Structures are given as C-alpha cells and as structure tokens.
C-alpha cells in the first residue's frame, strides 16, 4: 500500500480509535517498513516477522491512548519495535534444545527415521526445537507457539521451512 499522507494517517488513526477493525489501513501502510527495520537488525525472517506482529498488536491495543505529538505514526511504531527488539535480546527464547536431537531407541532402529533426524540435527536450533516438539512430543501448533514464545503463524512457518529444507536434502 502507498504511504499515507499526514492527513490520511490522522483519519486512519481516528477511525481505528473509533473502531479497532479500522486499524488495517495503518497496518498495511507501515508493515513493510517495520518488518524491514527488524529484519535488518535480526537477520532472521521468522523472528522479524514475529516481532513485527507483536509491534502491531501492541499498537492496536494502545490505539486509544495514542496521542499525536507531531511525529509521524511510523515513529511510534519504530519505538515499539525497537523496545521489543531490545527485550528479545535480554530474554532468551522460552525453550531451546541445548544440542542436536538425540535419536530415540525406536528411531535408531528405523533407518529412515534415523536419516531424517540426522538432517534435523543440521537445522538451526529453533527449527530443531520446533520439529522435536511437533513430531516427537506431539504438540499442537498453539502449544508449540506458547512453548517457543512465538505466534502460531511463526511456528507454522518454522515447521514448513524446516521440512522443506529436509526434503530438499533427501530428494
């Protein structure tokens, strides 16, 4: 979506204050710039996407308290994103595997499973953790999202990318 003029932005803010369902115009106008800001600092698309979603969720929750102080609305969003970014460095993810997943006795006796889990061990730790929670522990997507401290869509994306990476190596 094209950038909003100051007048259009003021109208969009007023509309969102009156009806939070109108927040979509602000989201569409600023999503890409906030995502790029976070991506440039994190160099991790999943984490940037998750923090971008958290930024807009906080902005939506606080829309009634927002006061125009002469700066563009994007400055307010950048401040939220920056604070979330700093907090993400201070707080490690909720659960992490300290090492590559070990094979269970059943997996060690199944050659196909052993090959797949060896490939899982080559993935980044967040992907290893998520795949283990899903396929070893049988967690649902909402449970995984809570366990890793990310949104459900971010958890699904991690699983999807991990499975695609494994499939690409095995085919």
**Dist. CA 171–CA 117, nearest whole Å:** 15
Hey, what domains does the chain have and what are their CATH numbers?
A: 6-90 (1.10.1740.10), 105-170 (1.10.10.10)
Q: How confident is the model at residue 142 (pLDDT cuts 50, 70, 90)?
A: confident
Return contacts of 46-51, CB within 8 angstroms, 24+ apart: 46/126, 46/150, 46/154, 46/157, 46/158, 46/161, 47/88, 49/153, 49/154, 49/157, 50/150, 50/151, 50/154, 51/81, 51/84, 51/85, 51/88
Task: Give pLDDT, residue 63.
Answer: 94
**Dist. CA 150–CA 168, nearest whole Å:** 25
Question: For residue range 96-130, what is the model confidence (pLDDT) as tens digits?
Answer: 443 444 555 566 667 777 788 888 888 887 788 78
**Nearest partner of 95 among 49, 134, 56, 63, judged by Cα:** 134
């Amino acid at each position: 979506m094209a950038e909003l003029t100051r007048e259009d932005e003021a109208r969009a803010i007023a509309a969102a204050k009156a009806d939070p369902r109108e927040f979509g115009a602000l989201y569409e106008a600023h999503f890409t710039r906030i995502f790029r800001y976070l991506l440039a600092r994190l160099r991790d698309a999943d984490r940037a996407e998750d923090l971008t979603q958290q930024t807009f969720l906080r902005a939506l929750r606080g829309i009634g308290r927002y006061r125009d102080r002469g700066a563009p609305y994007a400055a307010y969003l950048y401040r939220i994103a920056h604070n979330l970014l700093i907090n993400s460095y201070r707080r490690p993810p909720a659960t992490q595997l300290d090492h590559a997943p070990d094979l269970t006795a059943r997996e060690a006796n199944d050659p196909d499973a052993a090959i797949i889990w060896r490939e899982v061990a080559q993935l980044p730790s967040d992907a290893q953790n998520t795949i283990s929670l899903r396929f070893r522990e049988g967690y649902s997507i909402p449970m995984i999202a809570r366990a890793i401290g990310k949104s459900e869509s971010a958890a699904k994306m991690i699983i999807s990318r991990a499975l695609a990476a494994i499939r690409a190596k095995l085919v």
